């Protein structure tokens, strides 16, 4: 399968290893992966700030860039949800068919692994740590990659199932399993006080559960929580799911030296 790797703009610039790990992970499952370098940002910041019209050219470019691939895979629930759910209003007329084709083959990383990689290929290295899973809102409530506590339905749990396949990993139990971390894109700046309060209580939940590392499928939530933890000198670490599944060191995003390599 020929996969177009869709890398969130801030991951490209600030957490390149998350994209490297995603690439390695997909290749190790036997996929042919390519990063089309013409991509930049999916346009979510503009659309969420009330400037959806500014996202139109970016959305059109996105469709053009990713058209040739069998699948588009992204290590972010939020950016995937932008394409899958929120591009809908941005396309009309003749460009619509091309958009729908790209939309239907765009998947978040754990979604792709769950649906298109045979289970026997999902063998991950040992990770002997206590892990708190932060269920990112857009993955959860837009893409439905996990069960939401509000809904009385038994849903799938892509990320949870992947973590269960990791030898020696211990999942900690959180008091609020799927509460928002408070990042919310431009919300983090526009409503900084509330955003910070939300983040701190999210971090406190993980700390109280005695987690060593907060793991999520979205680096943006982790960037926000990591920013708070660094300021407070918390020993908690953050890791993207792809990094964990690739067997990266628990310090990968924590240790400045390691991150700057």
Residue where the block lists tokens 């008091």: 175
Least CB distance from residue 100 to another protein, whole Å? Answer: 19
Question: What residues between 53 and 82 interact with another protein by CB under 8 A?
Answer: 53-55, 57-58, 61, 68, 70
Any residues with CB less than 8 A from the CB of 55 and at least 6 apart, and which?
Answer: 42, 43, 44, 46, 47, 90
Nearer to another protein, 173 or 189 (CB): 189
Nearer to another protein, 187 or 212 (CB): 187
What is the radius of gyration, based on Cα positions, of the chain? 18
Residues 17-56, mask of contacts with another protein (x by CB under 8 A): x-xx--xxx-xxxxxx-xxxxxxxx-x-xxxxxxxxxxx-
Question: What residues between 87 and 116 interact with another protein by CB under 8 A?
Answer: none
Least CB distance from residue 212 to another protein, whole Å? Answer: 19
Identified binder of another protein from the candidate list 63, 183, 213, 214, rule CB under 8 A:
183
Least CB distance from residue 225 to another protein, whole Å? Answer: 9
């Amino acid at each position: 399968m020929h996969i177009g790797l869709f890398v969130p703009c801030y991951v490209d610039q600030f957490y390149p290893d998350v994209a490297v790990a995603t690439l390695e992970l997909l290749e190790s499952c036997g996929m042919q992966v390519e990063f089309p370098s013409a991509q930049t940002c999916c346009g979510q910041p503009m659309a969420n700030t009330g400037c959806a019209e500014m996202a139109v050219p970016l959305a059109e470019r996105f469709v053009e860039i990713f058209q040739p691939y069998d699948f588009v895979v992204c290590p972010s629930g939020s950016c995937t949800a932008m394409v899958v759910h929120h591009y809908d209003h941005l396309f009309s007329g003749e460009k619509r068919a091309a958009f729908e084709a790209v939309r239907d083959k765009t998947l978040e990383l754990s979604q792709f692994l769950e649906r298109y990689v045979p289970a026997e290929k999902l063998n991950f290295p040992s990770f002997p740590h206590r892990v708190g899973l932060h269920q990112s809102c857009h993955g959860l409530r837009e893409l439905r990659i996990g069960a939401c506590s509000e809904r009385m339905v038994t849903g799938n749990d892509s990320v949870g199932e992947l973590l269960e396949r990791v030898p020696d990993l211990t999942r900690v139990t959180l008091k609020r399993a799927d509460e928002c971390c408070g990042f919310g894109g431009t919300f983090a700046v526009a409503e900084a006080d509330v955003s910070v309060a939300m983040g701190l209580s999210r971090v406190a939940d993980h700390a109280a559960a005695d987690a060593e590392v907060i793991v999520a499928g979205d680096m943006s939530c982790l960037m926000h929580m990591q920013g708070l933890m660094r300021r407070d000198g918390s020993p908690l670490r953050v890791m993207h799911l792809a990094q964990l599944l690739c067997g990266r060191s628990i310090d990968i995003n924590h240790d400045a030296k390691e991150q700057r390599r």
